[in-house]
Amino acid sequence: MKTTANQPGLKRSLDNLLQIDSYGIPEAQVDEAMNRAQMRILPFVYGSLSVLFVAYTLIQTLFLQEPGSDLMSAVALVSAVGLGVICYALLQGKIGVRWAEPLTAVLALIVFASIQLRLFLTADPKQTANLALFIFAVSVLFISTRWYLLMLLVAFAGLLHAVLSFSDYPDWRFFIVVMLAAAASGLVAHVGRVRAFRHTEILRIVERQQRQELRRRNLQLRTSIAVGQRIVSILDLEEL
């Protein structure tokens, strides 16, 4: 009997975990608000990565003596310039909010290309570990689960390519486990972040609507008081 009684409560708990009360806010409005919030973050992310690519270029040129170092430095420098240009465009407000997730994907793909380039130029399968960092990074970068899962597929495609290219490497099982662990923990982080982010934006919209409603009612009240006072003054004049 207890098990049967607890089933609805368990189902309700799972539903509450997977769903967020939108308080009647249209889905499209919430998505637009989230894209706007993402666009406010992107200039910082683009600018930071641009600086990191410049630093990587200097480190690669001055300290690291690796195969393909010149090419990696050149690609990193071009990436830094490209990221800087997009960062400037974002700061100037020249890009619409509907490009929030595609721009995030561009950022992720630039990093992914850099990881893959380093892997194959150095011919060191251990560089595959960078893909695990990539997986977790994109999990907290995207606000769209669809885009996040797409980047996840890209990362595992990169892993598969590396496995096929260096098939004689003995430790692939370890890296596959690391990638799966990164994907699992990243998914948890992504879901938690998106839920919190979405809930915050919904509450912000609700709060804005309540303020507007409060102003409207306050205006109505003041109008009613003014009309009442006018009527009273007219009645007083008639009595005189």
pLDDT tens per residue across all 240 residues of the chain: 444 444 455 545 544 544 566 667 777 778 788 888 889 899 999 999 999 999 999 988 888 777 888 899 999 999 999 999 999 999 998 888 889 999 999 999 999 999 999 999 988 899 999 999 999 999 989 988 889 999 999 999 999 999 999 989 998 999 999 999 999 999 999 888 888 888 888 888 888 877 887 888 888 877 878 777 777 676 665 555
- Looking at residue 75, its pLDDT comes to 92
- Looking at residue 5, its pLDDT comes to 45
With the C-alpha atoms ordered 215, 217, 219, 222, is the resulting torsion angle positive or negative? negative
Centre a 10 Å sphere on the Cβ of residue 219 and count the other Cβ atoms it contains. Answer: 10
| Contact partners, residue 85, CB within 8 Å, separation at least 6 | none
- Looking at residue 18, its pLDDT comes to 46
Are the C-beta atoms of 185 and 4 separated by less than 8 Å?
no
- Looking at residue 6, its pLDDT comes to 47
* Phi, psi of 237, rounded to the nearest 5 degrees: -65, -40
Please give the angle made by the CA atoms of 183, 188 and 194, to the nearest 5 degrees. Answer: 115
Please give the angle made by the CA atoms of 187, 193 and 196, to the nearest 5 degrees. Answer: 140
* Residue for token pair 């799966």: 180
pTM for the whole structure:
0.79
As given in the structure block, the two tokens for residue 104 are 């995030």
Q: Which of 30, 18, 16 is nearest to 191 (CA)?
A: 18
